[in-house]
Amino acid sequence: MADLPHKATEIATGTARAAGDVLAARPVTHLCAAVLGGPPAFRRTLHVGQPNMPDQKAFLKRMQHILDSGRLTNWGPMVQEFESRVAGIAGAKHCIVTNNATTGLELAIAGMGMSGDVIVPSFTFVATVHALWRQGVRPVFCDIDPVRHCLDVACVEAAITSRTTGILGVHLWGNSCASDALRDLARRHDLKLLFDAAHAFGCQPGRPDGAYLGDAAVYSFHATKCVHAFEGGAIVTDDDDLAARLRLMVNFGFAGEDVVTYLGTNAKMSEASAAMGLTSLESMHLFFDHNRENYTAYAAGLADVPGVELMPRSANRVHNFQYVVTAIDPEQAGLSRDELVAALRLENVFARRYFYPGCHRMQPYAGLSPRAGQTLPVTEAVADRVMILPTGMALSARDVARVCARIAAIVQHAPKVRAALRHCTDPRLPDFARAADTAAGPH
Ligand SMILES: *Cc1c(COP(=O)(O)O)cnc(C)c1O
């Protein structure tokens, strides 16, 4: 601990100089954090999930083509091309694209015949669980492993009952869920296996893994995801029958001009979205490489910051590095995760606490498993500590170094930061950090 302030100072000055900051010439004081009265690290705001912009010319050319052709939607040529590209990248036999991943999950759940209970992690984006509930399926929450934040196989096995019809795993942060083990478990108990792969587009697990896509997997092409289509999703599967069913279900269940054979919906992707998807795909490896460079810069910049731990590089062969995941140890950092997130807002760095507080504490699931608090200890601990940092094309490695320098400075001055936050009324503070302020109330 003794040499810590020195190291943090080095990081702060080194970065400031690299970024051409005038502050570099001055000795580093407590003013190197905005919450303590210094200037913010950035004039613009850095967000998690800022859209990666693809080549505008290529996109506009596709849009011109769409407008000239008059074909706007209903499984047009752009959508068909996008589907075959996505299937190729996923290594799946079939791909059915959808208007977003949430409807994709709902359709997969219905199309696979999931009912009764399905085992799902609580530590995921709430859409994973909403998709089950909206299909009349009861989510049974299982804990995660503390390293990769994916379903803990032993917990899944222990949770299987006669009502269980399937497992909905999440390849969280692009890490591969324990797919092999889950597939074996699913086979032994005759369960369906679906993966929410919203974070994992383009990722390839560490070794060839036939179970990675389960019976089906769903990607998201939402604007905040690494590769996007404004809004969009895709279901990939090797199952011919399931694919045929889903193909009808995305289009109201129409099997002919007036023949409806399934309960379907309108989950079609438009040609405009597919045009964005195709253009975004063309830059996919550029995005991945850029994210990897940012990740490396985060690893260097946070290496000596106590209590701020970067999730190690995953064992994936290919990784999109879409999320920069850190865990904050409040004892070592001297600040809670929430305090650090709040202090960073004043730097115009909008770090986020994903997926707090866990779906089991959100509606309508909060009353569902009253003991979930005790049965999900890892979920609860992880949800209290995880902080996601901005990355993507909107940030350079130099920006990342500057973010890290500010984190180092904030941690270095933790007691002062904590005191300053107590009196801070800056509107950029997240609502959870303004609680004391609201309690005082407008008089
Ligand atoms: C983004 C996301 C979704 C939802 O995707 P949409 O395309 O926005 O519907 C589902 N699950 C996870 C884990 C996500 O991150």
Report which ligand 1 atom has the smallest distance to the Cα of 127: 10
Residue 259 confidence (pLDDT) above 90: yes
Cα 91 to Cα 43: distance, rounded to the nearest angstrom: 43
Ligand 1 mutation pick, 222, 325, 362, max ligand atoms within 8 A of CB:
222
Ligand 1 mutation pick, 128, 129, 148, max ligand atoms within 8 A of CB:
128
Residue 19 pLDDT? 42
Residue 101 confidence (pLDDT) above 80: yes
Cα 220 to Cα 197: distance, rounded to the nearest angstrom: 7
192 φ/ψ angles, rounded to the nearest 5 degrees: -80, 150
Residue 182 confidence (pLDDT) above 70: yes
For ligand 1, atom 14: residue with the closest CA: 198
Closest to 111 in 3D by CA, of 209, 236, 229: 236
Q: Binning pLDDT at 50, 70 and 90, where does residue 384 land?
A: very high
Residue 436 pLDDT? 54
Q: Are 47 and 427 in contact (CB under 8 A)?
A: no
Mean pLDDT, range 433-442, rounded to an integer: 54
Residue 25 pLDDT? 47
Q: What is the CB neighbour count within 10 angstroms for residue 93? A: 13
Cα 271 to Cα 74: distance, rounded to the nearest angstrom: 8
Residue 225 confidence (pLDDT) above 50: yes
**C-beta 79 within 6 A of ligand 1:** no
Contacts 24+ apart (CB under 8 A), 155-160: 156/119, 156/182, 156/185, 157/185, 159/119, 160/119, 160/185, 160/189, 160/191
Mean pLDDT, range 67-76, rounded to an integer: 97
pLDDT digits 0-9 by tens, 315-325: 888 999 999 99
Calculate how far, in angstroms, residue 72's C-alpha sits from the geometric centre of ligand 1. Answer: 25
Mean pLDDT, range 283-290, rounded to an integer: 97
Secondary structure (3-state) at 251: strand
For ligand 1, atom 2: residue with the closest CA: 198
**C-beta 354 within 6 A of ligand 1:** no
pTM for the structure as a whole: 0.91
Residue 430 confidence (pLDDT) above 50: yes
Q: Binning pLDDT at 50, 70 and 90, where does residue 285 land?
A: very high
Residue 79 tokens read as 């959508």
Which range (190-194, 267-271, 395-399, 432-436) has the least confidence?
432-436
Residue 179 pLDDT? 86
**C-beta 218 within 6 A of ligand 1:** no
Residue 136 tokens read as 């009349």
**C-beta 127 within 6 A of ligand 1:** yes
User: Among all chains, which residue has been given the structure tokens 């019976």?
Assistant: 215
Mean pLDDT, range 424-432, rounded to an integer: 92
Q: Binning pLDDT at 50, 70 and 90, where does residue 31 land?
A: low
Whole-number Cα distances in Å, 52 to 228, 280, 353, 421? 8, 8, 21, 33
Residue 57 tokens read as 């010319």
Per DSSP, 146 falls in state: T
Mean pLDDT, range 321-337, rounded to an integer: 98
Residue 293 confidence (pLDDT) above 80: yes
Per DSSP, 22 falls in state: G
pLDDT digits 0-9 by tens, 338-375: 999 999 999 999 999 999 999 999 999 998 877 877 89
Residue 29 confidence (pLDDT) above 60: no
Q: Are 141 and 120 in contact (CB under 8 A)?
A: yes
pLDDT over 70, % of the chain: 91
Chain centroid to Cα 321, Å, comes to 10
Q: Are 366 and 376 in contact (CB under 8 A)?
A: no
Cα 5 to Cα 409: distance, rounded to the nearest angstrom: 9
For ligand 1, atom 5: residue with the closest CA: 101
Residue 204 tokens read as 């390839």
Per DSSP, 30 falls in state: G
